[in-house]
Amino acid sequence: MRRTIIDFFNDAVEKYGKNDLLLEKRGTEWTSTTYYESKELALQIGAGLCQLGVKPKDRIAILSEGRNAWILSELGVLYAGAISVPLSIKLEESNDLIFRLIHAEVSIIMISMNQLPKIRKIINELPHVQKVIVFEPVNGNNDPFPLEPKEMWLADLMETGKQHLETQKETFLTIGEQIQNDDYATITYTSGTTADPKGVVLTHRNYTANVEQALTTMTIPPHWKTLIILPLDHCFAHVAGFYSIIACGASLATVQVGKTGAETLKNIPINIKEVKPHFLLSVPALAKNFRKNIESSIKAKGAVTNGLFKLAMSIAYAYNKDGYTKGSGLSILLKPFLNLFDTILFKKVREAFGGNLEFFIGGGALLDIELQKFFYAIGIPMYQGYGLSEATPIISTNCHRKHKMGSSGILVAPMEMKIVDENRNELPLGQKGEMVIKGENVMAGYWKNPKSTAETVVDGWLYTGDLGYMTKEGFLYVLGRFKSLLISSDGEKYSPEGFEEGLVEKSPYIDQVVLYNNQNPYTTALLVINKEAIKRAVRHQHKHLDEKSVEFANEGIKLVEEEINKFKGKGDFAGEFPERWLPSTFSLIAEPFSEQNGLVNSTMKVIRGKVEERYKNRIEFMYTSEGKNILNVHNQNAILS
């Protein structure tokens, strides 16, 4: 059965045509666009692209903050039979953008005015790009804005498309009708095992299958609304944010775009109160901010209110337990007290989220169980899920009917999972190993990277690279990285090997490197140093210093810092690796990682998990104010020892 995104969207329009699909704040007012209107606008974009010469399977990039134009543009791209290449607005480094745009052979870029300067700086380095389509501002800024030769306004593209549809609509619609399930829908770039990112190819059926799978775990009534506060470029926002919404006839709003990223972030709590969403997508970094704001507002109301809140929370924690065993045993006696506090306290807290919020869906990095307990207590459960781009992305999630805090929930269906060891042998239930899945949500492969594709997808099984286990109750527990992926606080993943190898190769002072980031605000590094090389260099540069002095050690530490800084800013190797993943601080290690101390295997590869365990205290120290300062006693001792 053919089930493309075009089929899927057309069915939704036929069923829910008069319902509001898109909500967007323009100036001071929220405007709505129905399903029927959205389809007509998407068709205009698609037809306009065809008039520009776009052919099926051409690649078209979208680089913008969340807005109606983003979603309508992707639908238009798909109606034209082309492939969407969603790009993150976090891509500040020109090398990152250039690689993706050239690697995908992008011919057209659809972009917001805020992001346009990035492309203007590099347009002459993009041989495939023929046109840049610029989204008009939505917040009342009507100042004249001159476009450059390759640029045109989205409104002009749509007008061209509208004229084409007046005479050629049936011919244009046949393009979408000819798309098959296995045709490519998007190429989503994620970081690979080298400095170059990988393009995850997701088909039309990957998306529609994952929506069907996701909806086995939750129900979205047609009158519900969500506010998408996550970047639209990631497939989590695609599936859970707007394609699942479309399947159910519900409405989605996007955050009001500010002139800067900081201004857009400030609009999130305001927009939540205005939209009154029924559910939200979140990542740990946002969840932490929400909790901080709640606790700050409670404290501001005085000692009595704060004391009541703490008492209420302790009762809720005792009653809720892990969610799965909520109210069991004697804790059932706490129910009347919990109901009372919900009426007089928690209900008021929920009003800050608009009053309709039923739950969050947590994606990306693993969510701290204390955060889960906090939101569960105030009556807005944050249901943790697990997934990755290569799985389109949803693999499991907690949900209203079955959940257990600390777990990543139950598997979506239909989908198979097995847990395997390092030799890819299947392990019994409850044992820890790499999580491997099979289903219609498994990617088609990596764009122009058959080697990585063959390593990652074997006989239809996707090897996730993540460590976990299943319980007899059907809950999945994700423990971290089976391989060496770093995970930032907002859920992005990055493989550190390229930088680790590059630093060792280019620096005479550093022999081994292990980067670390496990849902933290910044990346750190454990550096095994060549102590004698450092001392020789310091002696040469600072002949007057005593080799046993703190000053001598500090100069050695600064030498190491200079080696890392060569990969940042305007350094000799700047741009080779995404700067946001480079270490903000480091800890110097005098003892090499070796087979003798169990930190290197027989093939001379560092055993990352054992290094992290051995130096656990040192890693924790780097996330303190003292540890962030590189001129600390541990680093000094490493050089002076």
Domain map of the chain by residue range?
5-179+215-275, 279-355+358-483, 496-640
pTM over 0.85, yes/no: no
Q: How confident is the model at residue 368 (pLDDT cuts 50, 70, 90)?
A: confident
Kindly give, in sequence order, each residue whose CB lies less than 8 Å from that of residue 441, ignoring residues fewer than 6 positions away. 206, 209, 210, 213, 391, 392, 394, 395, 412, 415
Q: Rounded CA gap, 494 and 487, in Å? A: 7
Task: Identify the residue with better confidence: 362 or 373.
Answer: 373
Contacts by 320-323, CB closer than 8 A, 24 or more apart: 320/373, 320/376, 320/377, 322/404, 322/405, 322/406, 323/376, 323/381, 323/398, 323/403, 323/404, 323/405
pLDDT, position 483: 66
Among 87-101, 486-500, 512-526, 538-552, which is the least confidently predicted range?
486-500
Paired tokens of 227: 């506010």
Q: Rounded CA gap, 532 and 537, in Å? A: 9
Q: 152: which strand partners?
A: 133
Question: 10 Å Cβ neighbour count for 6?
Answer: 25
> Is the model's pLDDT at 141 over the cut of 70?
no
Chain center to CA of 548: 47
pLDDT, position 479: 80
Q: What mean pLDDT comes out for the span 2-17? A: 97
Q: How confident is the model at residue 466 (pLDDT cuts 50, 70, 90)?
A: confident
Pick the CATH number of 5-179+215-275 from 3.40.50.970, 3.40.50.150, 3.40.50.980, 3.40.225.10: 3.40.50.980
Paired tokens of 226: 């969500």
Task: Identify the residue with better confidence: 320 or 485.
Answer: 320
Average pLDDT for the chain: 92
Q: What is the CATH number of domain 279-355+358-483?
A: 3.40.50.12780
Kindly give, in sequence order, each residue whose CB lies less than 8 Å from that of residue 285, ignoring residues fewer than 6 positions away. 489, 490, 521
Judged by DSSP in three states, 570 sits in coil
Supply the DSSP symbol for 368: P
Q: How confident is the model at residue 93 (pLDDT cuts 50, 70, 90)?
A: low
Q: How confident is the model at residue 193 (pLDDT cuts 50, 70, 90)?
A: very low
pLDDT > 70 fraction of the chain, expressed in percent and rounded: 96
Residue 304 dihedral angles phi and psi, to the nearest 5°: -65, -50
pLDDT (tens digit, 9 = 90+) per residue, 260-288?
Answer: 888 898 999 999 999 999 999 987 778 88
Supply the DSSP symbol for 600: B
Identical fold for domains 5-179+215-275 and 279-355+358-483, yes or no, is: yes
Q: Rounded CA gap, 530 and 504, in Å? A: 10
Q: What mean pLDDT comes out for the span 78-88? A: 97
pLDDT, position 601: 66
Task: Tell me the H-state helices in 123-258.
Answer: 154-177, 204-214, 235-236, 244-248
Q: Rounded CA gap, 563 and 507, in Å? A: 6
Q: Rounded CA gap, 61 and 88, in Å? A: 10
Burial of 325 (0-12, 13-18, 19+ CB in 10 A): exposed
- Calculate Rg over the CA atoms of the chain: 26
Q: Rounded CA gap, 257 and 13, in Å? A: 27
> Is the model's pLDDT at 194 over the cut of 50?
no
> Is the model's pLDDT at 571 over the cut of 90?
no
pLDDT (tens digit, 9 = 90+) per residue, 577-606?
Answer: 888 889 999 999 999 998 788 888 655 678
pLDDT, position 92: 73
Q: What mean pLDDT comes out for the span 467-478? A: 94
